[in-house]
Amino acid sequence: MCTFARNLEQGIFKLFIMTLNTLRAVLFLVFSVAVTNFGFASQDNEDQDKGFNAKEMIMHHVKDAHEFHIVDWDNKPISIPLPIILFTDNGLTTFMSSEFHHDDSGTHIVEKNGERFVKYHEKIYQLESGVDTLTFDEELHPTNAKLPLDFSITKNVFMMWVSVLVILLIFISAASKYKKSNNFMPRGIASFVEPLVVFIRDEVAIPMIGEKKYRRYMPFLLSVFFFIWVNNIFGLIPILNGANVSGNIAFTVSLAFFTFIITSFSGNKNYWKHIFWMPGVPVPMKIFLMPIEIVGMFVKPISLTIRLFANITAGHIIILSLMSLIFIFESVAIAPVSVGFSLFILIIEIVVTAIQAYIFTVLSALYIGTATEEEHH
């Protein structure tokens, strides 16, 4: 019996090694084919530069947009139009983004209430009267048009509403489950939500903020955690075109701003004393530390902003770059490698969605915790 098991083990091991070797050979073959193909392709394409532009494609997918672009069919884009809300000198102007006819190069002019608008690189410009084309100076400021205040329901705003709706649905149904049961046993969706809420309470709020004061900050921490997490997950769904909500710096700035406001307003005497007049050090050191501590106060929310924004954007860029390898090499042989790697990165990204939401929550709790800490010396 024992020898049989050992033989089986050895057999499996040999099989494993063999598979690995074959895999390596296949990978090598694929890469060499791809590289030679690339060599030929680049020779062919030297004089015609109207090929596939990976950077443009990636930036188009990572940036916010005024319409929900789904797919290109027969060189015609299929997209869901979203409302455009502009505030110009003459007041409010609204129309649907379909009136631009998918134009993003600033050539299609939309006329509303005597004002003329063009869309150029996902920015809407208001043309001056009698002008037909946009011109820019060296610093890329428009010379014959101005930027109206843009309150449009863009792709990101729309996806944010969807995620708010999803969160509301989950939590309202979980709450109603608790209301119905008489012994507060979690059932249905509540049994999915409860461990997460308990995790945030026991692993984040209580250790970071303290047993006495954590209750006040739980609603904020939970909202931030679930909002970021759901938005991160929505960003990874390809059919929604990866609406990159949490990879938008405006979104992360506003969340970090909330943390900053809450930290500052809940800061007690002890916290402010540590910033402006550090106790326990000599006077020259107190004066030296003051600017550093003041800068540190603002650096905390800035680092929160950049961390979430850059993490999510970097993930999207990596996946899209791996996918665009197929089109850069112009070969089908590279497709399995590129799909395999991007699947691998996608799985890592699924973990990252939760980790980044957790990190944001933990750091917010940590900052709030330092602001509400009592004097203990």
Partner 1 sequence: MTITGIAAIGAGIAVIGAGMGIGKIGESAMNAMARQPEIQGKLQTSALILAAFVEAVALFGVVASLIV
Q: Which residues contribute to the site for partner 1 (CB under 8 A)?
A: 203, 207, 303, 306-307, 309-311, 313-314, 355, 358-359, 362-363, 366
Among residues 329, 374, 232, 353, which one has the least CA distance to residue 35?
329
| Cα–Cα distance for residue pair 180/358, rounded to 1 Å | 30
CB of 198 to partner 1, least distance (A): 14
Nearer to partner 1, 193 or 317 (CB): 317
CB of 311 to partner 1, least distance (A): 7
For every residue of 193-210, which 3-state class applies, written as one string?
Answer: HHHHHHHHHHHHHHHHHC
CB of 192 to partner 1, least distance (A): 21
Find all residues with CB under 8 Å of 107, minimum gap 6, and list them.
118, 133
CA atoms in the 13 A half-sphere facing the CB of 32 = 5
Look-up: residue for tokens 């101005």?
A: 146
Nearer to partner 1, 100 or 217 (CB): 217
CB of 60 to partner 1, least distance (A): 15
Report the largest interatomic distance among the alpha carbons of the chain, rounded to a whole angstrom: 92
Burial class (CB in 10 A: 0-12, 13-18, 19+), 28: exposed
CB of 362 to partner 1, least distance (A): 6
Q: Contact at 8 Å (CB) between 118 and 109?
A: yes
CB of 18 to partner 1, least distance (A): 32
Among residues 39, 53, 31, which one has the least CA distance to residue 337?
31
Nearer to partner 1, 79 or 364 (CB): 364
With b meaning 16 or more CB within 10 Å and e meaning fewer, what string describes 64-91? bbbbbbeeeeeeeeebeebebebebeee
With b meaning 16 or more CB within 10 Å and e meaning fewer, what string describes 265-277? ebbeeebeebbee
CB of 376 to partner 1, least distance (A): 20
β pairing state of 123-127 and 115-120: antiparallel
Nearer to partner 1, 177 or 300 (CB): 300
Nearer to partner 1, 87 or 298 (CB): 298
SS3 214: helix
CB of 225 to partner 1, least distance (A): 14
Nearer to partner 1, 330 or 373 (CB): 373
CA–CA distance from 53 to each of 38, 59, 212, 316, 326 (Å)? 15, 10, 56, 17, 12
Nearer to partner 1, 54 or 306 (CB): 306
Among residues 213, 250, 155, 207, which one has the least CA distance to residue 362?
207
Tokens representing 175 are 């709450």
CB of 337 to partner 1, least distance (A): 22
Nearer to partner 1, 25 or 302 (CB): 302
Nearer to partner 1, 118 or 365 (CB): 365
